[in-house]
Amino acid sequence: MPRCLIVQPMHKAALDMLADAGVEAVICPDTLPETVARLAAGVDAVITRDAGFGAAAMRAAGPSLRVVVAHGAGHDAIDKAAATELGILVCNTPGANARSVMELTLGLAIAAARKIPAADRAERGGEAGFRARAVTAELSGKTALVVGWGHIGQGVGRMLHDAFGMEILVHSPRARDTGGFERVATLADGLSRADLITLHTPMRPETEGLIGAAILAACKPGAILVNTARAGLVDEAALARALASGRIGAAALDVYSPGAPQGPLGRFEQVIFTPHLGGSTPEAMIRVGQGSVAHVLDALSGKRPATAQNDPKGWNR
């Protein structure tokens, strides 16, 4: 019987799908490297989330390992170079959790504009005068810059346009079609006009630290920044300085470096942190889990999933 290592929790519907296909699920009790490597021995497939899957675990799995599937769109934490060298296919499951991430992005944008979490904390703490001192804003009729025009970016752009009549600017050099919305020539051009900046671009070498000091200096004063994409897109020290100066009016972060809420960014009441909630709804978890299992089953039957991220030599097509 083929065996699939489940590095992090998956929805029961996905595990049932594996069992129905005659594949044994090997469940990791934790994501410690030694645990993952020990349980990887002899497996045929792996499904992982943000814990990733490294070269040591791939080598521990041995020659039986055929495919590593990212449970979701992000695959940065999977060692694709090692996988290619070892003849292991890597693929991801994009789009399945898009709706959930879109809705969270919209919620964070509203919460940041109206300072909802800070207002809640003030009320719970018996603090008087929050409404008088806090400056909040409407989104309606304002301008939003969507950075990255994949499934999620497109959906967020349409939501903001349809719900609030926002003017939508798009910065996405790889996008062929922006759906009738204006494509800005440079990121700085878009930032200078945007009241809301929302990040939906993948993590690549060229996007690491994309939102840094120089770029933040180009922002329209008081702009709101929302990041539901990747933590590494934002230079957090530069963001803290931009918040202190008022260049950035508020930020809502679903992804960030470890300890960021306890660091300089956590001192600003206009910064919202959520614990990577983007694709964590039950509806999204079912879709992503079953999509991940479908890729495993395809790969084990010799079919190459359309979302393959590498091209290992000798992998049958």
What are the start-end ranges of the H helices in 137-197? Answer: 151-164, 187-191
Interval 148-204: pLDDT, tens: 999 899 999 999 999 999 999 999 988 889 999 999 999 999 999 999 999 999 888
Determine contact, residues 64/86, Cβ cutoff 8 Å: no
pLDDT band at 317 (very low <50, low <70, confident <90, very high): very low
Domain boundaries for CATH 3.40.50.720 within the chain: 3-96+282-300, 98-273
Q: In the predicted model, is pLDDT for residue 93 greater than 50?
A: yes
pLDDT recorded at residue 50: 86
Q: Cα–Cα distance between 177 and 77 in angstroms, integer?
A: 29
Ranking 229-238, 264-273, 307-316 by mean pLDDT, the lowest is: 307-316
Closest CA to 18 of 284, 295, 303, 317: 295
Q: In the predicted model, is pLDDT for residue 236 greater than 80?
A: yes
Average pLDDT over residues 135-140: 95
What share of the chain in percent tops pLDDT 70?
Answer: 99
pLDDT recorded at residue 265: 98
CATH pick for 98-273 out of 1.10.287.990, 3.30.200.20, 3.30.43.10, 3.40.50.720: 3.40.50.720
pLDDT band at 280 (very low <50, low <70, confident <90, very high): confident
Handedness of CA 257, 259, 265, 269 (dihedral sign): positive
pLDDT band at 314 (very low <50, low <70, confident <90, very high): confident
Average pLDDT over residues 289-303: 96
Q: In the predicted model, is pLDDT for residue 316 greater than 70?
A: no
Interval 11-45: pLDDT, tens: 999 999 999 999 999 999 999 999 999 999 999 99
Residue-wise DSSP of 10-62 = --HHHHHHHHHTT-EEEE-SS--HHHHHHHHTT-SEEEESTT-B-HHHHHHH-
pLDDT recorded at residue 281: 94
Q: In the predicted model, is pLDDT for residue 315 greater than 80?
A: no
Cα 261 to Cα 41, 256, 264, 273: the distances in Å are 37, 9, 8, 7
Q: In the predicted model, is pLDDT for residue 116 greater than 90?
A: yes
CATH assignment, 3-96+282-300? 3.40.50.720
- Rounded to the nearest integer, the mean pLDDT of the chain is 95
**Residue 203 has which token pair?**
């993590």
Determine contact, residues 54/79, Cβ cutoff 8 Å: yes
